[in-house]
Structure 1
């Protein structure tokens, strides 16, 4: 059994603390959360952290497998939701063009000489919602057989823009990580900075995130689909900021108008995962609306606006098979959050 560590009140020099409160003060049942902790120890050997925020305060925090507050997590595809936020910031600053802008205008220097004739019809909005129509393969569990070819290529941007555009697939959702990476390149083309540099200035610094890493592509762009490394608390900060309409400690960070679109269903997704917004999964769980930043292995940031809650799970990312912690929400966590919400009415 993997033992957990509770370090809720431990100081962190690298990151400003999140306000904390005891479960009882928030109307939550500690015994339920302790039960979740025990289940994780017994049944989730790859889990690395579990955090619960309610009403903007850190209520419960556990670490596993030797990980702690300062440990960096490989977010995998949860990176996509951060890339989305950067697009929203760049758009609000007038650096990115309208969402209807064509990729041929945004990526002028990367467009192949013999570009597919439909490429000009692919827009920034298509990339954000993964409805670009680029020919791709996606498995039942979001596996992408072509992603290895993409990663082996030295020219990621040209590779993505050289994919054939299937007319009947345009406007239809297909999980496609190349769309997400192109969003990172779009930020770079619009701002003159790679996404990591841009994030440090306009997203991480306002949130007090100082311990992070973001892997570059062979071309020097920050990977838009994967590659971001953050601590669990900083993941929680980002989630809380999004839940609060882009505000952090009373200051605007991410445009609220952007988040209203990003966290809302823009296109029908996959039944097993939910619908899709702007690089966020969306849906209803146990009667509660949620938005989810999701990464392979169990890197998850859940937002529950009706319950005023953020739930963060992290786990070993280098796994071929893993248990989705979603069941912990369905069977335990959401019930106590709903009870607290009902008591507050």
Structure 2
């Protein structure tokens, strides 16, 4: 699959040349390593992309040694969560899914005992989006550990009862607790409200409008597509999503994602345990950008293994990194270095 891009401007071409020099030096010195692919754009124009080779996985299945290129699908892992957020925003504008102030349990009437629980009714869709449900959930253990809550969910006879029946440990809205289960609920609200699979709804409402025709959504043993971690996209496909978001949700004369939804995603709702802002399944921070007179805000989707999507509307910049360092505690270092040092600190003013 090839996503077409506009030609870079002379200024962006000059930056690209400067970037290539620094990026090559980083690779040679070892300050940059372990990448499968990186790419970034500015104002709808592809500035640079690089592809490498190495071992990879498809949702835990070993693919062996891969030579990566523009048409290679990569696991997004938890960047999937951020894409699921966009799908909900689209479905909400179409009137197909519950408003965010509704109890999330109302979307699951097959569990009348849980629907009738007054404490569980306090957990809204918005709390679920912000991972502030106040319920017990632990994904701090490796995903190879059967005690990890997401793995327990995947192995449960009924994933949605498993999630909604977790012990309540505090009032909702008080604390961010990372939870793939929360996103599984969001995904179910989308499929139930639209009457379509995540694959079909995403194809018609997000991917086709952006010219993306290569993707795959992995499903669990029960056939449920993983709204939290199952999406696979090419480098250019994911970058096109970031490029659209940096442009306020518009692409090709069409408003693909509502501007109001993006604005809410960019407004911090809660702090994460590692001190970034968070809203509607997006991480929020700032980066020093000398060309733009100081720091500029950005939003990011973060995935296990160093998978990343960033976008910064005030600069028009979007970027993607795939590493595939799954279950490696240090996987955050290289993409962070790429985004902050190689991209945001080097762009020239258009």
The TM-score normalised by the length of structure 2 is: 0.86
**Structure 2 counterparts to residues 90-101 of structure 1, below 5 A:** 90-101=91-102
1:59 and 1:231 map into 2 onto residues whose CA distance is 17
Q: Does 1:335 find its partner at 2:345?
A: yes
Match of 1:182 in 2: 185
**What is aligned with 2:299?**
291
Worse-superposed segment, 316-325 or 133-142: 133-142
What is the CA distance between 1:82 and its match in structure 2? 0.6
Which secondary structure does the structure 2 equivalent of 1:58 belong to?
Answer: strand
User: Per-residue deviation at 1:52?
Assistant: 1.4
SS of structure 2 residue aligned to 1:104 = helix
**SS of the residue aligned with 1:288?**
strand
- Runs of at least 4 residues off by over 6 Å: 140-144
Structure 1 unpaired stretches of 5+:
1-13
CA, structure 1 residues 270+33, in 2 after alignment: closer, same or farther (shift >3 Å)? farther
Other-structure match for 2:283: 281
Aligned length: 326
Structure 2: runs of 5 or more not aligned: 54-66, 289-294
**Which position in structure 2 is the counterpart of 1:11?**
none
Match of 1:221 among 224, 234, 240: 224
- Whether the aligned pair in 1 keeps the contact of 2:84 and 2:227 (CA below 8 Å) is yes
**Does the 8 A contact of 1:29 with 1:336 survive in 2?**
no
Could you tell me how far 1:43 is from its partner in structure 2? 4.8
The equivalent of 2:105 in structure 1 is 104
SS in 1 for 2:277: strand
Taking the TM superposition and a 5 Å limit, the aligned residue runs for 1:294-333 are 294-323=302-331, 324=333, 325-333=335-343
Give the aligned partner of residue 59 of structure 1: 47
The answer to whether the Cα contact below 8 Å between 2:5 and 2:45 also exists between their aligned partners in 1 is yes
The answer to whether the 8 A contact 1:269-1:276 is kept is: yes
| 1:46 alignment counterpart | 34
Measured after TM superposition, the shift of residue 279 of structure 1 is 0.4
2:57 equivalent to 1:70: no
Q: Note if contact 1:204-1:210 (Cα within 8 Å) is conserved in structure 2.
A: yes
| 1:306 partner SS | coil
Give, in angstroms, the shift of residue 306 of structure 1.
2.4
Is 1:132–2:140 an aligned residue pair? no
Q: Do the aligned residues in 2 keep the contact of 1:23 with 1:30 (CA within 8 Å)? A: no
